[in-house]
Amino acid sequence: MMQTTLLSLLFSSLLIQVGLGLLVERALPNSPSGGYAPEVVDCPKTKPTVRLANNLSDDESQWLSRRRNITVAPMRRFLEKANITDFNVGSFFRQAGDNFTAIPNIGIAASGGGYRALMNGAGFISAADSRNNDNSSVSGLLQSTTYLAGLSGGGWLVGSMFANNFSTIPSLQRGRKGTGLWQFDQSIFKGPKEGGIGILNTVNYWKDILEAVDSKAAGWDTSITDYWGRALSYQLVGTPDGGEAYTFSSIANTSNFENGSTPCPILVADGRRTGELVAAPNATIYEFNPFELGSWDDTTYGFAPLEWLASNFTNGTISSKGDCVRGFDQLGFVMGTSSSLFNAVMLANFSGAGNESSIASFVANAIEELLQNFNEQENDVANYAPNPFFGWNPTSNNSNAKEDQLSLVDGGEDGQNIPLHPLIQPARSVDIIFAIDSSADTKTNWPNGTSLRASYNRSMSDIGNNTLFPPVPSAETFINLGLNQRPTLFGCNATNFTLTDNQTVPPLIFYIPNAPYTTHSNVSTFDLVYSDNERDAIILNGFNGATQGNGTVDAEWPTCVACAIMSRSWWKAGENPPRGCSQCFDRYCWNGTTDESPVGQYEPAYIIKKNS
């Protein structure tokens, strides 16, 4: 803490005053401290508690009824526009009435993969958003969706949208004057470009980051993730100060979320046990939603109220003398938690070999020393202390029950780089998940289904907690059959699943891999700088993947998407899909065929044409 303070004083002596300008309030910067640090506050009359993960929270259940009702109209328009032969959309919705078990429940999951994942995922979201272009073949899908999950780079996308009042992708691309919003042409290690009101030079930028983390360190443990999250926020939160007072739980209090007008955002992180350097394949998976932090896994099997993290929970309750705290769930810190893989990038950048020459050496050297000390203390994770699950459920396999600190890391460290885990939970009753895979599984940075296999393998293990997942083939089959170059459905035949007690048929997985439609979007996960042209080309490529080139790859694509959305509803009603869907399922469902031939260097050709 003293070291951070000295650094802050050092930078203070070199400042040039920069006017911050006027802010337009778009979300709820509701941290009680007014800044990055949490603060001890009076406890509410009914003190917050940790709950068992045996169902949805009351808050989510109440929100869900509002959201499902609002998705009906856009879903109906989407299905009508698809024009499925022998399917009367109006009759279906009249018969379903307000029975939301019958009406499709849709989730979207955006994978990790740094800026590549953010941009590719943004292309899909932009195509699915009816606010942008109703001529898109999948326009309205976002408005029909209940849950929007992100992990690491996909979490930056989801977090940035909600930090900016659920902005459209084109508006994020345009940015916001006086901020660094989506200005990826400037490394986050340098900070936003100088020039406008509120824009900082590199010294001011790092001084502000250090002072923010120092304010938190006065009362709570900090880690490299605090610095990483603060740096990210200047690009992802459209305020000059990077949204210091913004919290993830404040999303629940924004009017458009509260009334059910947006999907529910979920970010994913892995638990890392004491003494581990990386998370194990069977690591406990934690989720952040606007209401809670917790895990469905029986190793924790509990959820803590997100707004009250860092309060003194013991055995799930706060004692009469225990403190209540608000503001710990700072939005950038949560996004940084889900992407803590990049802590290593931050360390490397400020090492002697990796330092960018344009960063003043005294700045780089000071930050390098600070971060290296954190690394040596194994403080390269995100520290959630006090541990909200201290003493919680100790009779289970909760390895954290005796730990003062909950250590969370990048959600993709367990191999599940697509955040499917929150969406396959039976309590959420999701029928179909659009899984946007921007992973770099091959040496040339393209996906090959590794994340899906990790999710399938986990569902077969003891930690699966009665969740099921469709079978998926090997990496060789993915590449040899082209499953990583086109959308593919997994789990089409619901009758193929053998259920035991408390199990339900899993959602249909609509796998949407990153592939070269109009540009080679296989940039490195650790590339941190992109010109606006490069950024926009990768977003357009993701748009083309979502729409299949708006009919140039498959003229029946909108119909096939609609058939997939309806698939589980027809199965639950005991009805056969209409004949207009049979060709779609033949074309897009993986039928179990495999090809284990060895694969050499994977260099796919353009699917449409190079974007000029």
Enumerate the domain spans of the chain: 2-588
Please give the share of the chain, as a percent, with pLDDT higher than 90: 75
- Taking residue 357's Cβ as centre, other Cβ atoms within 10 Å add up to 7
> Tell me, what's the pLDDT at 572?
96
> Tell me, what's the pLDDT at 528?
92
Q: Is 574 left (phi over 0), alpha (psi -120 to 50) or beta?
A: left
Q: Is the pLDDT of residue 612 over 70?
A: no
Helix (H) or strand (E) holding 255: helix 255-258
Are the C-beta atoms of residues 414 and 282 closer than 8 Å to each other?
yes
> Tell me, what's the pLDDT at 185?
95
Q: What is the pLDDT of residues 243-270, one digit of tens each?
A: 999 999 999 999 999 999 999 999 999 9
HSE-up (13 A, CA, CB side) for residue 507:
28
Would you state the structure tokens that stand for residue 19, as one six-digit string? 């006017």
Average of per-residue pLDDT across 207-212: 92
Burial of 298-330, coded b for 16+ CB within 10 Å and e otherwise, reads bbbbbbbbbbbbbbbbbebebeeeeebbbbbbb
Closest C-alpha to 235, from 168, 163, 287: 163
Would you state the structure tokens that stand for residue 510, as one six-digit string? 């609509």
| pTM of the complete model | 0.92
d(CA 535, CA 112): 17
Lowest model confidence (mean pLDDT) among 57-66, 119-128, 392-401, 594-603 = 392-401
> Tell me, what's the pLDDT at 173?
97
> Tell me, what's the pLDDT at 273?
76
Would you state the structure tokens that stand for residue 353, as one six-digit string? 């070999």
Please give the angle made by the CA atoms of 394, 396 and 398, to the nearest 5 degrees. 65
Helix and strand element counts for the chain (H, E): 17, 16
Q: Is the pLDDT of residue 62 over 50?
A: yes
| pLDDT-derived band at 5, boundaries 50, 70, 90 | very low
Burial of 461-498, coded b for 16+ CB within 10 Å and e otherwise, reads eebbbebbbbebbbbbbbbbbebbbbbbbbbbebeeee
Average of per-residue pLDDT across 6-33: 49
> Tell me, what's the pLDDT at 516?
98
Burial of 239-250, coded b for 16+ CB within 10 Å and e otherwise, reads bbbbbbbbbbbb
| pLDDT-derived band at 17, boundaries 50, 70, 90 | very low
Q: Is the pLDDT of residue 24 over 50?
A: no
> Tell me, what's the pLDDT at 360?
54
Closest C-alpha to 203, from 216, 193, 190, 213: 190
Are the C-beta atoms of residues 186 and 192 closer than 8 Å to each other?
yes
Domain 2-588 in CATH 3.40.1090.10? The answer is yes
Which residues does 157 contact at the CB level (< 8 Å), separation at least 6?
110, 117, 118, 121, 122, 125, 150
| pLDDT-derived band at 16, boundaries 50, 70, 90 | very low
Q: What is the DSSP string of 569-588?
A: HHHHTT-PPPHHHHHHHHHH
Q: What is the pLDDT of residues 392-441, one digit of tens each?
A: 987 667 778 889 999 999 999 999 999 999 999 999 999 999 999 999 99
Q: What is the pLDDT of residues 96-141, one digit of tens each?
A: 998 999 999 999 999 999 999 999 999 999 999 999 977 799 999 9
> Tell me, what's the pLDDT at 276?
65
Q: Is the pLDDT of residue 68 over 60?
A: yes
> Tell me, what's the pLDDT at 343?
66
d(CA 85, CA 87): 6
d(CA 225, CA 332): 9
Q: What is the pLDDT of residues 471-504, one digit of tens each?
A: 999 999 999 999 999 999 999 999 999 898 788 9
Mean pLDDT score of the chain, rounded to an integer?
89
- Give the torsion sign (CA, 91, 94, 95, 98): positive
> Tell me, what's the pLDDT at 12?
41
Average of per-residue pLDDT across 493-520: 94
Biggest alpha carbon distance in the chain? 74
> Tell me, what's the pLDDT at 168?
97
HSE-up (13 A, CA, CB side) for residue 11:
26
Helix (H, G, I), strand (E, B) or coil at 510: strand
> Tell me, what's the pLDDT at 363?
56
> Tell me, what's the pLDDT at 202?
80
Average of per-residue pLDDT across 223-230: 91
Are the C-beta atoms of residues 85 and 128 closer than 8 Å to each other?
no
Pick 344 or 323 by higher pLDDT. 323
Q: What is the pLDDT of residues 343-394, one digit of tens each?
A: 666 666 666 544 454 455 555 565 666 656 655 555 568 999 999 999 998 7
